[in-house]
Structure 1
Amino acid sequence: MKNVIYSLLILSAFASSSQSLRELYQEGLKAYDEKNYELFTEKMFTIDTMRPNYPAVVYNLAGGYALTGQSSKALKTLEKYILMDATQDFSEDADFTSLLELERFTALKKKQSELTETIELKRTYELSILSSHPESITYSEKQKSFYIGGVRDGSIWEMKEGREPKLWAESPKNSWSVMGLQVSADEKTLWACTSSMNNYQDYNQSEEGFASVLKYDLKNGKLLETYALPGGHNFGDLITDKSGNIYVSDGTANKLYWISDKKGELEELADLSNDIFNLQGLTLDDTEKNLYLSDYIEGIYRFNLKSKDLEKLKIKGDDILIKGIDGLYFTDNSLIGLHNGTNPNRVIKYKLSEDRNAIIGKEVLAQGGVLGEPTQGVWIDGSLHFIMNSPWGAYDQDGNFNPESKSVNIGVIE
């Protein structure tokens, strides 16, 4: 069983969670060592109920089912697992010996092979400034410029085709890692959201959990407004509508914030913490009445801006597990999700039902290969241009940043 290998990873992941989760996991490992597989399975099931879709737990749960003679549950759980991590050679794990001769296990291995095949995009290109650690990207048609936000330096860079990148805005006071960028519909304003993270080169522990929204004059780069919140926040993305309202996702408090065009103040729009584990990307549908939200752990939700109702999208298609989505984008009654919480990472287009409350199919647009860590994108003339290789893996255990490349890869979905 690979749970011993995974144990340090999962205990780290649970560090910000409840003490009971860590205790349950340790109790599960102890039960496994003592060959009390019924108790081991029970502990893993309990954790998966409390904190769903963590790969190590799902893998261990599958092993527990196999060890206790529950082959059908073991296979079903492994099917779920490979949608999250298709790289684990579980056929070599002795805990699954009882499954090896089953026809369904053979089919599962074939599916696993398909999930690790490389699917390349037809069009990609490169921009420099990877040393800034780009995470967010937007575009101005009027200025004919890309704007890219840096996690490492907290700066915003401007790039025009055929020119060297230009530092457009340095990190001002009450600004940290740039996590989201958006040019307003009238092309007068550039909006940015920032969060205090230890990847930020000027990180100050006393500002842990601080976050802000910045409003810039797009024409001259002048900072017009700063909206900051202390402690307990992580602004991960923002979006503007045609009326000039700004919506911001908070992945720590799991709340939606907004700045209305009329009031011009940062306000809490909705507290979603009872339903959502880790709020990430957000996108408006074509009616601008609904926000679609990605929960990095559980999937995609729809939030009605008028009624404030939140509903999780139903899954009606095959082989669909919506986990690990960062950027999320609406198009033609579908959603494009940038997955950097799967192995390999993927870009997937999810087809919505007619009433848009369910996912009824999927198309994998990119998988593995040069697709590093996809994060956020921007629509340009009907094509989604997105960051393919945000270098989160370039930090060592001491926080030093050593990216292998100096360029950021941009993928294009036509």
Structure 2
Amino acid sequence: MLPAHHSLHFRVHTRVLLTLLVALFVVTALALAEPAHRRLVREATEAAKANDLATATAKLEQAARLAPDYPRVHFNLARLYAAQQRPADALRSLRTLADMGLVFAIEQDPAFASLKDSPEFATLAAAFATNRRPIAPAGADEAAWAITDVTGIIESVATHPVTLENFFGDVRHRCIWYRDTSGPSGVLRKFSADTDGLDGVFALKFSADGRTLWATTSALPQMAGFTEADKGRAALVAYDYPTRRLRARYPLPADGNEHVLGDFALAPDGAVYVTDSTTPAIWRLAPGGDALEKWAAYPWFVSLQGATLSTDGRYLYVADYANGIWRIDPATKEAVLLKAPTGSTLFGIDGLYAVPGALIAVQNGVNPQRILRIALDGRGEATGVRVLAQGHAALKDAALGQILNRHFHFVADSGWELFGQPSAAPAPRNVTILSVPTE
């Protein structure tokens, strides 16, 4: 689960019209059954390259009908409409984005210069500014604490359900840390051993009985000591909590493909469902199994991220960064894309966690980054979206977390942006853990 600004995710920055369209929608490799909205976006790019703005607009209008909560489609439609002197349509597209609670600096974008004299444009600029406001739990701020002297990328936090001991996955230093509170102040110490041979550590989760700490580990350039020969190496690992030793390792096959195992879901029957962002696919470790098996690899998957079982075990929900959220029946493997409730977007979601009647989501692929509560009905459909937290000073690089005691505890500033160059050596810093009620 790399953050939105990383290459495995799809957030980009805007510039001029043609540059934006080309940069945002270039597709380097197409699946045999490419999702229709992505095909239309690709075709819009080709039309824009040929300066055929009418065709580009028509293609994106079709894409918007198929994926109505795809923010970048609406933003680029607004720019195309403005370029073709269609101010009412441009303003309507911008209103769609404002209603999603997103932020775009439209007053600074030269593509919208022709709209600036419109009262509606001023209203929209004010709405986007309002969308920046901090949101915290009713009547209280988010509880926050920090781990100190961090020089790596803290992608996850897991707390033992009984001892309340805290553990952290570090992509950069290829290890699992724990917070030693035996002294006057908490300090990070290594839980995993260097001889365990971990790559970058992504998700961490405890088994229901608290005896096993599960983790995903994957090789990528941001980890220390990376070489090209490491590409594609990834595994699910299990640590015995009482002995604090590596118990088992379940590597992916060396198939020549790139893999990043970003998250996983622990099923009540002992199965483990693991998301692979780059293949993309879902792998499964059967109860008592000794190897990961490719369980689902559909051509409409794009960038799989967080995974969670509904609290009744009926559905597996999987976040797809450039699609939304898949609801998958574990018995049949049928995958259905959730429809985003009106005025919301389910794009750009990383971590995903189940609570009774809802999902808690880390949405770090939009501006502003935020924590969502997605209400579900009895059929497992999304019926409403509410922002639990956004705008906290530390919430700038949100990563993974854990539900504990009806609160969601998560890494607020993981540090990916500090490692744009793999050789970077940033100064020690504090990493904030935020906690918000799930209701």
Scaled by the length of structure 2, the TM-score of the pair is 0.81
* Pairs within 5 Å for 1:173-188: 175-188=198-211
In structure 1, the partner of 2:295 is: 269
Question: Residue 90 of structure 1 is aligned with which of 87, 106, 125?
Answer: 106
Question: Residue 156 of structure 2 is aligned with which of 123, 136, 157?
Answer: 136
In structure 2, the partner of 1:28 is: 48
| 2:370–2:387 Cα contact (<8 Å) kept | no
* Distance in 1, Cα, partners of 2:67 & 2:197: 33
In structure 2, the partner of 1:390 is: 414
> Root-mean-square deviation (CA), in Å?
3.3
Q: Which stretch has the larger CA shift, 386-395 or 226-235?
A: 226-235
* Pairs within 5 Å for 1:154-303: 154-161=174-181, 162-172=185-195, 175-229=198-252, 230=254, 231-271=257-297, 273-303=298-328
**One-letter amino acid of the counterpart of residue 324, structure 2:** G
Matched, 1:355 2:371: no
| 1:25–1:43 Cα contact (<8 Å) kept | no
Identify if the C-alpha distance between structure 1 residues 316 and 163 changes in structure 2 by more than 3 Å, giving closer, same or farther.
closer
* Distance in 1, Cα, partners of 2:172 & 2:350: 18
Equivalent position SS for 2:367: coil
| 1:3–1:60 Cα contact (<8 Å) kept | no
Scaled by the length of structure 1, the TM-score of the pair is 0.86
**One-letter amino acid of the counterpart of residue 77, structure 1:** S
Deviation at 1:49, TM superposition (A): 9.3
Deviation at 1:97, TM superposition (A): 4.4
Q: Paired residues, what number?
A: 407
Q: Identity, % of aligned pairs?
A: 25
Question: Residue 79 of structure 2 is aligned with which of 53, 59, 63?
Answer: 63
**One-letter amino acid of the counterpart of residue 158, structure 1:** Y
**One-letter amino acid of the counterpart of residue 16, structure 2:** V
Identify if the C-alpha distance between structure 1 residues 61 and 402 changes in structure 2 by more than 3 Å, giving closer, same or farther.
farther
Deviation at 1:291, TM superposition (A): 1.2
* Distance in 2, Cα, partners of 1:245 & 1:395: 34
* Distance in 2, Cα, partners of 1:325 & 1:173: 31
Q: Which stretch has the larger CA shift, 122-131 or 94-103?
A: 94-103
* Distance in 2, Cα, partners of 1:316 & 1:350: 9
* Distance in 2, Cα, partners of 1:276 & 1:310: 10
In structure 1, the partner of 2:36 is: none
In structure 1, the partner of 2:364 is: 340
* Distance in 2, Cα, partners of 1:113 & 1:203: 41
| 1:213–1:227 Cα contact (<8 Å) kept | yes
Question: Where does the alignment leave 5 or more consecutive residues of structure 1 unmatched?
Answer: none
Deviation at 1:12, TM superposition (A): 8.3
Equivalent position SS for 1:322: coil
Matched, 1:4 2:16: yes
Identify if the C-alpha distance between structure 1 residues 22 and 303 changes in structure 2 by more than 3 Å, giving closer, same or farther.
closer
* Pairs within 5 Å for 1:366-385: 366-367=390-391, 369-385=393-409
In structure 2, the partner of 1:147 is: 167
Equivalent position SS for 1:267: strand
| Cα deviations by residue, 1:211-232 (Å, 9 ceiling, x for unpaired) | 1111111122222221112333
**One-letter amino acid of the counterpart of residue 167, structure 2:** Y
Q: Which stretch has the larger CA shift, 36-45 or 280-289?
A: 36-45
In structure 2, the partner of 1:117 is: 133
Report 1 or 2 for greater relative contact order, CA contacts < 8 Å, sequence distance ≥ 6. Answer: 2
Equivalent position SS for 1:202: coil
Deviation at 1:320, TM superposition (A): 0.1
**One-letter amino acid of the counterpart of residue 405, structure 2:** D
Identify if the C-alpha distance between structure 1 residues 95 and 141 changes in structure 2 by more than 3 Å, giving closer, same or farther.
closer
Question: Where does the alignment leave 5 or more consecutive residues of structure 2 unmatched?
Answer: 1-12, 32-38
| 2:44–2:56 Cα contact (<8 Å) kept | no
Deviation at 1:339, TM superposition (A): 1.3
Q: Which stretch has the larger CA shift, 359-368 or 20-29?
A: 20-29
| 2:407–2:436 Cα contact (<8 Å) kept | yes
* Distance in 1, Cα, partners of 2:370 & 2:227: 34
* Distance in 2, Cα, partners of 1:146 & 1:298: 33
Question: Residue 353 of structure 2 is aligned with which of 300, 322, 329?
Answer: 329
| 2:169–2:204 Cα contact (<8 Å) kept | yes
| Cα deviations by residue, 1:74-107 (Å, 9 ceiling, x for unpaired) | 2343244457895543234454345445554344
| 1:2–1:60 Cα contact (<8 Å) kept | no
Identify if the C-alpha distance between structure 1 residues 10 and 406 changes in structure 2 by more than 3 Å, giving closer, same or farther.
farther
* Distance in 2, Cα, partners of 1:132 & 1:348: 27
* Distance in 2, Cα, partners of 1:12 & 1:94: 18
